[in-house]
Amino acid sequence: MDHSQRYAFEHGPLTFWRWNVQMGWPAMLVTWDRIWLPQQWHKPKNILWREDESNWLVRCNHLKQWEQADKKARANRSKGADSPFQ
């Protein structure tokens, strides 16, 4: 899988979670404190690209990037996390 295919899989109109929904299966964000539906995914505190990320269940390279990011980079990444659901 090349970069454009990976990006489409994660962010395109047929992302994995949207495919699940089209198949009739649920898509949920599961955090330490609750389960969130897709329309709520921008609301949880302390998830990926937000605050201290302590509510995120899985550690990945993105968390390390967040820990090492300066204030400007964090603000830019948070902007995407805070965007309304589409």
Q: How many residues does the chain have?
A: 86
Q: Which domain holds residue 40?
A: 3-81
Q: Does any domain span residue 64?
A: yes
Write out the E strands in 1-86: 29-30, 35-36
Domain count within the chain: 1
Q: Does any domain span residue 9?
A: yes
Rg from Cα positions in the chain = 14
The per-residue pLDDT for range 19-28, each reduced to its tens digit, is: 899 999 999 9
The per-residue pLDDT for range 13-70, each reduced to its tens digit, is: 888 888 899 999 999 999 999 999 988 988 889 888 788 888 988 877 777 888 888 9
Q: Does any domain span residue 86?
A: no
Q: Does any domain span residue 21?
A: yes
Q: Does any domain span residue 16?
A: yes
Q: Does any domain span residue 52?
A: yes
pTM over 0.75: no
Q: Does any domain span residue 46?
A: yes
pLDDT at 7 over 60: yes
